[in-house]
Amino acid sequence: MKKKVTSLLFPLICLVLSVSCGKNNDNKVIKYEDIGEKAQSNTSVDILPSEDDNNEDTTLNLSNLDIEISKTYNLSTNDFLDRFQSEESVKRLILTSKDSIYFKSWSFQDSTTCINAFYNLLDCFGKDCTPIELYSTDFITLNYNLLLVFENQIHSIISKENQDLQVWHRYFEAENNISEYHYILEQKRNQSMAWFEYNREKSTLKKINNDQ
């Protein structure tokens, strides 16, 4: 009788143990956000940081920028693109009489590293870390956003009011002697994205998505 009871209990115990082990394995599944950075707002393209803790800056040469500037401040914000190893980054808050412009630049070792960082940026775009397809027009925010990618550099301009793309293009061309843009992405306030291509011979920008 004891042998029979034991033979019946053994498979039952194994069944209980297997179920218990299965539950324990489920509990041990580690989500990515538990071991890395949680999905955060991408401040480089959406959120306007406060200027309370900024220091006034006079080192950045903006003489080629056709904007009447009141003051320029250093920024010490953490941005999505800071996750990628860059050789240099510049972050400034440019104040005008009517606007606050957040100007940020990252210089990478080479164009391959630069474009890889840009593609990762598209995978986590805006304050909700929304994935954006290349040449997509779906993303809309309340602020003005401009991203320019050329050679080994990514430049981000965010402002409360819409900017003149040509003004910024002329500034970067004067500062960098640009031979080719990899990508130009502009999103005006409460409007869909627009992508542009650069004609070096004519030094003109042409919108390449015509679905707006």
Q: Is the pTM of this model over 0.85?
A: no
For residue 93, the surrounding DSSP H or E stretch is: strand 88-95
pLDDT tens digit at each of 212 positions of the chain:
544 444 544 444 444 444 444 444 433 322 223 323 333 445 444 444 454 555 888 888 999 999 999 999 998 888 999 999 899 999 999 999 999 999 999 999 999 999 999 999 999 887 788 888 999 888 888 999 999 999 899 999 999 999 999 999 999 989 987 888 999 999 999 999 999 998 888 778 889 875 54
- Output the pLDDT for position 211: 52
- Output the pLDDT for position 140: 86
Neighbours of 44 (CB within 10 A): 24
- Output the pLDDT for position 204: 84
CA distance 95 to 121: 26
Angle at 71 between CA 70 and CA 77, to 5 degrees: 140
- Output the pLDDT for position 212: 44
Spatial CB neighbours of 89, under 8 Å, sequence gap ≥ 6:
81, 82, 104, 105, 106, 107
Name the amino acid, one letter, at 60: L
The upper half-sphere exposure of residue 17, i.e. CA atoms within 13 Å in the direction of its Cβ, equals 6
Neighbours of 105 (CB within 10 A): 20
Judged by DSSP in three states, 206 sits in strand
- Residue 110 phi/psi, 5-degree rounding, is -155, 175
Spatial CB neighbours of 187, under 8 Å, sequence gap ≥ 6:
139, 140, 141, 144, 145, 146, 193, 194
CA distance 164 to 117: 25
- Residue 4 phi/psi, 5-degree rounding, is -65, -45
Name the amino acid, one letter, at 26: D
What is the DSSP code (8-state) at residue 126?
T
- Output the pLDDT for position 210: 52
- Output the pLDDT for position 114: 96
In DSSP terms, 198 is beta-bridged to 205
The upper half-sphere exposure of residue 11, i.e. CA atoms within 13 Å in the direction of its Cβ, equals 4
CA distance 93 to 101: 6
Under 8 Å between Cβ of 196 and 184? yes
Token pair recorded at residue 201: 């011979």
